[in-house]
């Protein structure tokens, strides 16, 4: 009986979440055409909080004492499910956009919305010209005071554990001197698992860890930086998964 109720609950929450997204998101994009996005950023954050609420998740934010909310940064996070960007957007206390695979911009409706939203396209095929364009757009965003969310696993976890990280974001951070904030999403796997449709009642805790400086690093330092950030992100995630089967 409980499982039947949870299935009905999940179906209702999916319906409400999708309906809410495709009614409100175009309105926000329309406002962005005529207004500075920073002036209605509070509306976008409200939208993301409602996405989390309608999916049945409770969101808690824990800030480390070494986290600097004033610094324009790369926020690097583990990636669990499609709700992650919305959870992060309402948890990060500054103007933020994200790296997103360029192929996502071709998805009907969603791709147009993300393009207008201002996400930076990451090429699926790593040609030199495409990479240079990504670097330029990243530099422009950071110079304009926009922080960026990056998922260094470049895929969603299937078992809840933090996978190996790719070098790309760390190379850009090192080359451009952009500080990094490791972010741990704890509870997302308990809320929704990629490849399944059920939405479970859960609390998602967003850990904003200490800001890590990259100025003065050379390319030989990138592997150590990558593993340092991964270890920080993975620690609370793996601890929470101790009882998950």
- Residue 106: which CATH number? 3.40.1130.10
- pLDDT tens-place string over residues 156-167: 999 889 999 999
Highest mean pLDDT among 60-64, 109-113, 189-193: 60-64
In a domain, 149, yes or no: yes
| Domains: count for the chain | 1
Q: Is residue 51 part of a domain?
A: no
Question: What's the pTM?
Answer: 0.87
- Residue 174, domain member (yes or no): yes
Instruction: With a cut of 70, say whether residue 112 has pLDDT above it.
Output: no
pLDDT digits (tens, 9 = 90+) for 179-212: 999 999 999 999 999 888 888 888 999 999 999 9
Sign of CA dihedral 185, 155, 54, 90: positive
Q: Is residue 159 part of a domain?
A: yes
Does the structure show a pLDDT above 60 at 117?
yes
132 inside domain = yes
Cβ-proximal residues to 209 (8 Å cutoff; 6+ apart), any chain: 64, 66, 67, 181, 182, 183, 184, 232, 233
Mean pLDDT, the chain, whole residue set: 86
Residue 204 lies in a domain: yes
Residue 25, pLDDT score: 75
Joined together, the tokens standing for residue 27 give 């309105």
pLDDT at 126 over 60: yes
What is the pLDDT confidence band of residue 243, given thresholds at 50, 70 and 90?
low
Which residue is listed with tokens 């009905």?
8
Residue 185 DSSP SS3: strand
Q: Examine residue 27 and state whether it is found in any structural domain, yes or no.
A: no
Whole domain around residue 222: which residue ranges?
58-243
Opening angle at CA 232, ends 123 and 138, nearest 5: 30
Q: Is residue 48 part of a domain?
A: no
Read off the pLDDT of each residue in 118-139 and give the average, rounded to a whole number: 78
Q: What pLDDT digit, counting tens, does each position of 3-46 carry?
A: 787 788 888 888 888 888 888 877 777 776 677 777 778 888 88
Q: What is the pLDDT of residue 245?
A: 43
Q: 3-state DSSP: the chain helix, strand, coil percent, rounded to 5?
A: 50, 15, 35
For the chain, what percent of residues have pLDDT higher than 90?
43
């Amino acid at each position: 009986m409980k499982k039947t109720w949870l299935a009905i609950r999940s179906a209702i929450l999916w319906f409400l979440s999708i309906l809410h997204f495709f009614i409100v998101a175009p309105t926000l994009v329309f406002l962005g055409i005529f207004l500075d996005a920073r002036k209605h950023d509070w509306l976008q954050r409200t939208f993301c909080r409602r996405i989390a609420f309608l999916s049945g998740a409770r969101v808690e934010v824990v800030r480390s004492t070494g986290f600097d909310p004033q610094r324009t940064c790369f926020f690097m996070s583990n990636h669990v499910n499609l709700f992650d960007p919305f959870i992060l957007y309402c948890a990060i206390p500054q103007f933020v956009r994200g790296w997103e695979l360029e192929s996502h911009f071709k998805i009907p409706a969603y791709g147009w919305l993300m393009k207008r939203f201002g996400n930076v396209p990451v090429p699926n095929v790593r040609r030199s010209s495409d990479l240079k364009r990504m670097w330029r757009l990243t530099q422009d965003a950071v110079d304009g005071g926009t922080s960026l969310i990056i998922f260094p696993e470049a895929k969603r976890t299937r078992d809840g554990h933090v996978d190996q990280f790719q070098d790309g974001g760390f190379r850009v951070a090192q080359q451009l001197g952009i500080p990094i904030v490791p972010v741990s999403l704890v509870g997302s796997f308990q809320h929704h698992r990629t490849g399944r449709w059920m939405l479970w009642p859960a609390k998602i805790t967003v850990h904003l860890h200490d800001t890590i400086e990259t100025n003065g690093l050379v390319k030989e330092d990138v592997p150590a930086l990558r593993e340092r950030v991964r270890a920080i992100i993975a620690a609370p995630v793996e601890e929470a998964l101790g009882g998950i089967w």
